[in-house]
Amino acid sequence: MSTTQVDKSAPSERARKIGGMYRTYWLVMLVAVVALSLVRIATGADDITAANTLRAAILSACPILLAGMGGLWSERAGIVNIGLEGQMLLGTWGAAYFTYNYGPWVGLLGAAAMGALGGLLHGLATITFGVDHIVSGVAINIIGLGATTFLAEAFFSDYQYGGPRQLTGLDGLPFVTVPGLSDGLKSLNDQGWFVISDLAGLLAALTTKVSVVTILIAVIVVLTAWILWHTSFGLRLRSCGENPAAAESLGVNVYRYKYVAVLVSGGLAGLGGAFLALVAASGFTTNQSNGRGYIGLAAMIFGNWNPFGTLGASLLFGYTDALRLRSPSAVHALLLVVAIGLLAYAAWRFYQGARTSAIVLGLIGAAFLVWFLTTDTVPREFTGMTPYVVTLLVLALASQRLRPPAADGQVYRKGSAG
């Protein structure tokens, strides 16, 4: 009886939306590669697309990505988990302890279990006792730091290569290199050709000395996307983050899904800790995560609570981080990239009719351009900030489109349906 027309092309509407999403994704990637390539040729900063830089970028992105995935799981179920940092720390200790005693594979499991323990604590506080999520998260970070420091002192002091604050000489996990491809791509990368060498650098980074854990992480990202969006388990979990009262009124056991989410969340953060202790470094030190849990959370937000968005954000952070470590001079070239990015975005906004924001963006872009043109290096005090500044900048630009789960961070009491 309704006059609303039934759109017969409904399924294709969905397909179009998804198709559009992937197209945008690839387009952004392509534009980024071209821009980087242009800047590399213009400035001679070869490091910005060197295979080694990109490999370091991936290494640096991995723990952040795991933290981000952890954040994604819990926030999709409506629990803000800023305790990721503490859960990561628990993971670093777990990785060290279990690797030392039982080998690196058990070490990974142990790290995840320790992280999940932190998640369980957060779940007990927020779900069962209705504690504010931020308060509980902060407490977990403090506990995580305190507990790992204490446990390290208690256990590692007597170990070989151990001390009260570190444990080195742990067995590592295998790396994978694709024979043939890897060398060829690397020499192509050294040629300095426009775009081709840059792409070769990227592929070389993906085929040379890739940790099995990195591969595992890639699988986790894909699995997360599949579980949360293509299974009924995932639908129920997400419904708890969107409208728990409605979920409960349909027979969903909200508490159970929230607990599962926060346990997985802690486990992933713990795995992130293992990556730091076993792959990125070859041992444990206290406070090893050094804020990466928070960065992971930021990456998840900037990734719009979406696994592939979080992946992109983590890679961006990892890239800037790697760049500043490997080649401070390349950070100067990055100014030009930022300027181009901002100006392009300003033009896009202008085209969309958002005048004011276009002008503001244009001015900031111009400022970066002037900075680039009038200086030769970026002061050392600034290079350390690069990853944070870039993340902040992108976050600010993207924030207009971000959409957190509707009931994220709200305390839910069983029986509130209706």
Nearest to 309 by CA among 228, 208, 237: 228
Smallest gap from residue 245 Cβ to other proteins (A): 6
Smallest gap from residue 228 Cβ to other proteins (A): 12
By CB under 8 A, the residues from 201 to 230 that bind other proteins are 230
Binding flag, residue 10, other proteins (CB under 8 A): yes
Distance CA 224, CA 213 (A): 16
Q: Alpha-carbon dihedral of residues 213, 218, 224, 227, nearest 10 degrees?
A: -100
Distance CA 45, CA 96 (A): 38
Nearest to 131 by CA among 91, 73, 83, 179: 83
**Among the listed residues 14, 23, 380, 413, the single contact to other proteins using CB under 8 A:** 14
By CB under 8 A, the residues from 244 to 263 that bind other proteins are 245-253
Cβ atoms of 113 and 267 closer than 8 Å: yes
Q: Which two tokens stand for residue 108?
A: 């990974």
Nearest to 267 by CA among 216, 322, 197: 216
Cβ atoms of 136 and 143 closer than 8 Å: no
Binding flag, residue 11, other proteins (CB under 8 A): yes
**Among the listed residues 243, 290, 304, 329, the single contact to other proteins using CB under 8 A:** 243
Binding flag, residue 24, other proteins (CB under 8 A): no
Q: Which is nearer to other proteins, 11 or 174 (CB)?
A: 11
Nearest to 49 by CA among 334, 390, 378, 342: 334
Distance CA 152, CA 43 (A): 47
Residue 166 forms beta bridges with which residues? 285
Dihedral of alpha carbons 31, 35, 41, 45, sign: negative
Residue 375 forms beta bridges with which residues? none
**Among the listed residues 158, 160, 179, 232, the single contact to other proteins using CB under 8 A:** 232
**Among the listed residues 1, 160, 174, 191, the single contact to other proteins using CB under 8 A:** 1
Q: Which is nearer to other proteins, 207 or 239 (CB)?
A: 239
Binding flag, residue 235, other proteins (CB under 8 A): yes
Binding flag, residue 300, other proteins (CB under 8 A): no
Q: Which is nearer to other proteins, 250 or 376 (CB)?
A: 250
Binding flag, residue 374, other proteins (CB under 8 A): no
Residue 175 forms beta bridges with which residues? 211
**Among the listed residues 192, 220, 242, 393, the single contact to other proteins using CB under 8 A:** 242
Taking residues 384 to 413 in sequence order and writing x for each that binds other proteins by CB under 8 A, - otherwise, the string is: -------------------x-xx-------
| Residue ranges that bind other proteins, judged by CB under 8 A | 1-7, 10-11, 13-14, 17, 230-232, 235-236, 238-239, 242-243, 245-253, 403, 405-406, 414-415, 417-418
